[in-house]
Amino acid sequence: MNSFYVFPAFYVCVSLNLHAQAPAPEKVGGLEVVAILEMLGAKQEDGVSAEQRRTYGKHFGFVDLNGDGLHSAEEFVEKGSYLTPQARRGIFTAADADQDGSVTQAEYVLNRIITDEAKALMQALDADEDGLVSREEFDQGTKVKLQVKAQREAVFKAFDRDENGVLRTPEYLRAWGAWAREGQKPAEARLREVALDALWAEVSRLVMEGDFAGYSATCHPDGVFVSGSKASSYPLSKALAGWRQGFEDTKAGKLKASVAFRFSQRFGDATTAHETGIFLYTSEPTGGEANKAYIDFEALLLKDGEGEWKVMMEYQKSAVNEEAWEALAK
């Protein structure tokens, strides 16, 4: 029952979003198309909570009848029971962003994110709530975001595919969906990295607050710590025991501590990840001077059964300098 209800709702939106797989223009009105979406308020995957991503993932599962982690053409087009076969084929093709003949969970979730956000932003421009965005409504509603009138006109023209002076939802979503993917990584990488960014941000918060239990919970119970400077490896639990006093001092107000991360390389799939970069750990005892340590590191991570990322291996390779840190900012 759930699959029959949720599937059409999602795919109808997506079919409007990616009606054609024609490449998006790099620029419109002299602006990069991704930048235009940001100016219009788009946050894409960065604007969706982990809980909402999980909800979208559950919706995907309602339709994955054989449980193989894919929506196949057979499942959707041939065995579908609503609309026409031709319509189902068009919807399926639109959702299959990489055109490999199947729709992955990541493609589904990213499409939901892009489409739902685009529709919400369009509805906000519809001042008279008639379901259409007129040229005047678009111009008035985007003046603050797109301050140059010529740019507003160029963007409206790009959205107005039938050139009738009003934007219907299908028109808006076709252009929006293509622009949201212009020059971007595949869906799986985008969703993995936004989830890992949230993890590293949480690690930073836990270090700053001296929350040892919370920090320990981000590590896999069977994790391994590797020290390049000592040419050794041992259980991550042993490393945590050695770091515990620093957390307790931070929590007691005896020490100020912080950590920030920058990455040079990020690999992975839906359940595994390999992150390479530098972290900056700063510690400042009460009444003392701040000490900064720039550490070249690698981390292997696994997604557990609850969908949470855990550090399986932390490899602190060597100390580096501030110049190397700043280079990653670019």
Neighbours of 285 (CB within 10 A): 13
Q: Which long-range contacts (CB under 8 A, 24 or more apart) does 34-41 make?
A: 34/179, 34/180, 34/182, 34/183, 34/184, 36/146, 36/155, 36/179, 37/176, 37/179, 37/180, 39/145, 39/146, 40/121, 40/142, 40/145, 40/146, 41/121, 41/145
Q: What is the domain range of residue 169?
A: 2-184
Give the residue from 129, 156, 184 where a domain finishes: 184
Q: What is the pLDDT of residue 23?
A: 65
Question: Which CATH number do you get for residue 102?
Answer: 1.10.238.10
Name which of 174, 137, 143, 139 is nearest 158 in CA terms. 174
The total domain count for the chain is 2
Q: 180 and 192, same structural domain?
A: no
Question: Dihedral of CA 310/212/277/39: which sign?
Answer: positive
Contact predicate 62/2, CB 8 Å: yes
Name which of 215, 130, 210 is nearest 169 in CA terms. 130
Q: 164 and 18, same structural domain?
A: yes
Residues (pLDDT < 50) of the chain are 1-21
Q: 114 and 149, same structural domain?
A: yes
- The torsion defined by the Cα of 228, 232, 235 and 239, in degrees rounded to 10, comes to -60
Q: 256 and 125, same structural domain?
A: no
Question: Which CATH number do you get for residue 285?
Answer: 3.10.450.50
Q: 213 and 158, same structural domain?
A: no
Q: 159 and 17, same structural domain?
A: yes
| 3-state percent helix, strand, coil for the chain, nearest multiple of 5 | 50, 25, 25
Q: 151 and 194, same structural domain?
A: no
Q: 35 and 155, same structural domain?
A: yes
224's torsion region: left (phi>0), alpha (psi -120 to 50) or beta? beta
Q: What is the pLDDT of residue 115?
A: 86
Backbone angles phi, psi at 146, to 5 degrees: -120, 95
Q: 61 and 208, same structural domain?
A: no
Spell out where the chain has E strands. 27-28, 31-32, 70-72, 102-104, 133-134, 166-167, 219-227, 232-235, 255-268, 272-285, 291-303, 309-320
Give the residue from 184, 215, 234 where a domain finishes: 184
Structure tokens at 196: 């890992």
Q: Hey, what amino acid is at 192?
A: R
Give the residue from 160, 184, 208 where a domain finishes: 184
Q: 208 and 256, same structural domain?
A: yes
Q: 155 and 22, same structural domain?
A: yes
Q: Strand, coil or helix: what is 127?
A: coil
The DSSP 8-state label assigned to residue 143 in this structure reads: T
Q: 231 and 166, same structural domain?
A: no
- The whole-angstrom separation of Cα 79 and Cα 73 is 9
Contact predicate 113/44, CB 8 Å: yes
